Structure 1
Amino acid sequence: MLIKEVCVENFTKIPAAIRNGAKRIELNDNLAVGGTTVSRGVMAESIHYAHEHNVAVMVMIRPRGGNFVYNDQELKIMEADIFSAQELGADGIVLGCLTADNQIDAEAMEMLMGAANGMQIVFHMAFDAIPINQQNGAMEWLIDHDVKRILTHGGPLDQPIDETRLKTLIEAAAGRIVILPGGGITTDNVDALTTRLQVSEAHGTKIVGTL
């Protein structure tokens, strides 16, 4: 069965997303800047409502738009938000920390993953900022640290989804981590795309229609 993960902004569209067949919610604020962390109140109500309908909630952990290089204060904010997500019963968190030269910030990631304390962890499209020739090494690091999924477009978001690149990543993952395609996937193309890629999960804002 195909798991359709819907990327939503705040609580407002969650009921419609679930009615339309969403099986997992990625919960964000500020999608115009690529998604940031919602307020604690939004987080609480969204998790409560989704769980009543047997739908999982993945909480975006990102204190601002812009790049994925975070200072110590921002990491403290992210850690506090992870503790909130944990306390409120979120199924997982979505995050990605990079160094200034677009490598995984291992120290920051390890600190934040420690705070997650068993929740599912997804590394988001910060992955696409890692140089292509270093992505396999980054993937191995994520696998070694029990990250559940990598959300990726296969390339820059202003380009069509790169199926060739995604297939390469899926082959390299070899079932050890889920490659979750996202960006430009809609209710019209999701079935054909996931069939071609031979994946059982996909992510998008319009993956169950326009909400």
Structure 2
Amino acid sequence: MLYEFCAENFERVPAAIDAGARRVELCDNLAVGGTTPSAGVISATVGYAHEHDARVMCMIRPRGGDFHYNQDELRMMEMDLGLAVSAGVDGLVFGCCKPCAGGWALDELTLGALVMAAGCATEECKRGPIDITFHMAFDQLSPEAQLDAVDTLADCGITRILTHGGAAGTPIEDNLEHLSRLIEYAGDRLTILPGGGISTANRDTVAAALGVSELHGTKIVPLEV
């Protein structure tokens, strides 16, 4: 089982890796769901993680609030992901939606621009492709729209989708049926990464119910308070 620890800055990264986290989703400002960490934090985390056989996924998000970004914000994200790639991260984490009549839809134009920017950044650094996680912006889509989104994200080369399987704040146990549906639908095209409300207390139960090999959370490994 791969445990991905959601880290706010570097502070708890060493303890999380020592406790069994083999991948870190690095961000800042968890109070708003996570934003892009500083270049210094990225560099320090990558250095430590790689020395201790762990990987780093870096959040690319310019602000809290919704996931609908204007052109200025898109340029910020492209610049930030370039810096993250040059710092040696193993992957990027982002998501983008746009308003529609039914609520929210996948913003394919912004998604395509970010995926292209990631590809250009890896080429400039003479690196191979890196992982891309589409984060919990996915959960703003309706259940029906999510299936179409899986198709689009898979076609774009997205590695995994981080999802709670339901509305924020709902118990993860209430969302297992929908998560199972997403996992079956995605097949081997990309990974569905369950997160939100998963802790050391229920991680084994969730993993067994879903048959997954990766789980995500801020309490996914045992840490001292």
TM-score (norm 2): 0.92
Residues 13-52 of structure 1 mapped to structure 2, 5 A cutoff: 13-52=12-51
Return 5+ residue gaps in structure 1 as ranges.
none
Percent identity, please.
Answer: 50
Rounded Cα–Cα distance in structure 2 between residues aligned with 1:210 and 1:18: 10
Deviation at 1:205, TM superposition (A): 0.1
Deviation at 1:209, TM superposition (A): 2.1
SS for the counterpart of 2:216 is strand
- Residue number in structure 2 paired with 1:113: 115
Rounded Cα–Cα distance in structure 1 between residues aligned with 2:41 and 2:57: 13
SS for the counterpart of 2:81 is helix
Residues 81-100 of structure 1 mapped to structure 2, 5 A cutoff: 81-100=80-99
- Residue number in structure 2 paired with 1:75: 74
Corresponding residue pairs, total: 210
Partner of residue 188 from structure 1, selected from 185, 194, 201? 201
Rounded Cα–Cα distance in structure 1 between residues aligned with 2:84 and 2:51: 17
Give 2:97's aligned amino acid.
L
Deviation at 1:149, TM superposition (A): 0.3
Rounded Cα–Cα distance in structure 1 between residues aligned with 2:147 and 2:162: 14
TM-score (norm 1): 0.98
Give 1:112's aligned amino acid.
L
- Residue number in structure 1 paired with 2:123: none
Residues 116-131 of structure 1 mapped to structure 2, 5 A cutoff: 116-117=118-119, 118-131=129-142
C-alpha root-mean-square deviation of aligned residues, in Å? 0.8
SS for the counterpart of 2:45 is helix
Rounded Cα–Cα distance in structure 2 between residues aligned with 1:195 and 1:175: 18
Deviation at 1:12, TM superposition (A): 0.4
Q: Structure 1 residue 10 and structure 2 residue 39: aligned?
A: no
- Residue number in structure 1 paired with 2:145: 134
Rounded Cα–Cα distance in structure 2 between residues aligned with 1:42 and 1:107: 30
Maintained 8 Å contact 2:158/2:190: yes
